[in-house]
Amino acid sequence: MDKHNRKIIYYVAASLDGFIAGPKDDISGFVQQGKGVEQYMSDLQSFDTVIMGRRTYEFGYQYGLEPGQPAYSHMQHYLFSNSLSFEKAADSVKVCPLDIEIIRHLKATEGSDIYLCGGGQFAAWLLEHEMIDELKLKLNPLILGEGIPLFTNSKKAYRLKWQDTASFEDGLQIISYKIEY
């Protein structure tokens, strides 16, 4: 990989047992405020591009996101879906087919690192194509038992290299890893 490429960083909340949401997309048990969440919100400001799958984008609807509008006002959005479409989308929102060449092109363009926002299925697809460079895990002091896995249906094993851990009083930790392919 060219060292000048942008990195894709999967920055995601997870339970101790590896779920990014519980049954029926429930995230109510995750830490919702405090210094760790403030750190995450601050870290998001460093990204100018976000990629996500259809389910993650549509998950935002229940929090007031209007179809075709950006979830993050300061970022260019690339929504990867073979079925999503909008009557009218903001200039910063582009729907793309699930095509690894589009991801490679995005990584090769100028800009900040790329924020991979949620999506166990989309993240697993990117992981299988060795496109995720770093995992920033907002590890919540919570066991869900079932739900949406961090990497849905991923079949390969990957070694991660620890980079950093930040711990917060509410039990939340933000742990950064480099994925080694």
Across 82-109, average pLDDT: 96
**What 8-state DSSP symbol labels residue 169?**
T
Q: 180: part of which helix (H) or strand (E)?
A: strand 173-180
Residue 47 has pLDDT above 60, yes or no: yes
Cα distance between the two ends of the chain:
11
Q: Which two tokens stand for residue 38?
A: 């403030």
Question: For 4-8, 42-46, 110-114, which range has the lowest pLDDT when averaged over its residues?
Answer: 4-8
pLDDT tens digit sequence for 141-181: 999 999 999 999 988 999 999 999 999 999 999 999 999 99
pLDDT tens digit sequence for 132-143: 999 999 999 999
Q: Which two tokens stand for residue 165?
A: 């851990």
Can you give the pTM of this predicted structure? 0.95
Angle ∠(70,75,77) on CA atoms, nearest 5: 55
**Within 10 A of 94 (CB to CB), how many other CB atoms are there?**
13
Across 46-69, average pLDDT: 96
**What 8-state DSSP symbol labels residue 76?**
E
d(CA 10, CA 12): 6
Q: Quickly state the pLDDT bin for 4 (edges 50, 70, 90).
A: low
Asked if 158 contacts 150 with a C-beta cutoff of 8 angstroms, the reply is no
d(CA 147, CA 13): 13
Across 118-122, average pLDDT: 92
